[in-house]
Amino acid sequence: MNILVTGGAGYIGSHTCVALLEAGHKVIVADNLSNSRIETINMVKEITGKDLIFYHIDVTDKAKVEGIFKDYSIDGVIHFAGYKAVVESVQKPLQYYYNNVVSTIVLSETCLKYGVNKFIFSSSATVYGDNKVPFVESMELKSTTNPYGETKVISERILQDVVTVNPDFSVSLLRYFNPIGAHESGLIGEVPKGIPNNLMPYITQVAKGKLEKLFIYGDDYPTMDGTGVRDYIHVMDLAEGHVAALEKLSPGVHIYNLGTGKGTSVLQLKDAFERVNGVKIPYEIVGRRPGDIAECYADVTKAEKELGWKAKRSIEEMVRDA
């Protein structure tokens, strides 16, 4: 299939491009490079030995998005493009609502106009809000704790409403937990611009000496060691989950958690990194961040049963590849 991957130069997007190309699909990437690098596209080609098409555009620009659909016979869309920093979303809500929601509207409209009925949406476990763990797809979504999470909830609702009036439209809402790690080649990984918002690139930059120490936000949560607990998943497991969702896609709305089903605390992850890589990570405990919750991990039964997909890489592999 010809798959349009928005945000395909980004962290999860680039690894999914690798998985798609290795599964025999053709890939067209649209990315504005606001938090990614063009070099990543070249690395994807090197890893796979296959070519892909790249458009340097913003997917909120409807005319430019339509240009891609005119140039190529698109069979499906995987929509990653969006701002993703929880704390920044609290500080810049309008920027997040505009970018993340308008891009979903533009892509949905263009798919309907050009008869493209396969749509996979990059959602997030943040849609569950401060719910009881483990998070299950059938849960009622509570109010999220930040605008980033709200943009994912709104986009999910938009796509569900589109299906209501277009029953042939096939949508998979993939709710990610916490992707970390990198392709085993080391050629692509999570390389954010500026100071990282996510834990693993922060740890790796401390390990390399680019940052002095790791700040751990809060040690007074009701968890095993007081630090936040998350469901960390290897980014290649996550990428392979997208291919499984694409190949099993059928009309209607399908919602899947993509995680491991296991919770790991910030301190446990730091300790695993030190143990596996033989590098000490100096750290300091500071106050909680706005928008964070104590625990977040998945019930992954549905994805395993319906997609035949299961995360198989360990925390040790995640920190080694990172």
HSE (CB half, 13 Å, CA atoms) of 81? 30
Please choose, from the candidates 223, 182, 178, the residue with its C-alpha nearest in 3D space to the C-alpha of residue 199. Answer: 178
| Tokens of residue 60, six digits | 């909120």
| Tokens of residue 219, six digits | 């040690």
Known active-site residue 148: yes
Q: Whole-angstrom Cα distance, residue 165 to residue 16? A: 30
First to last CA, the chain: 30
Residues whose CB falls within 8 Å of the CB of residue 24, separated by 6 or more in sequence, listed in order? none
Annotated catalytic residue, options 55, 148, 202, 297: 148
Q: Whole-angstrom Cα distance, residue 172 to residue 242? A: 9
Query: Is the preceding peptide bond at 134 cis, omega within 30 degrees of 0?
Result: yes
Residues whose CB falls within 8 Å of the CB of residue 217, separated by 6 or more in sequence, listed in order? 228, 286, 287, 288, 289, 292
Counted residue by residue, the chain has a size of 322
User: Active-site residues: which are they?
Assistant: 148
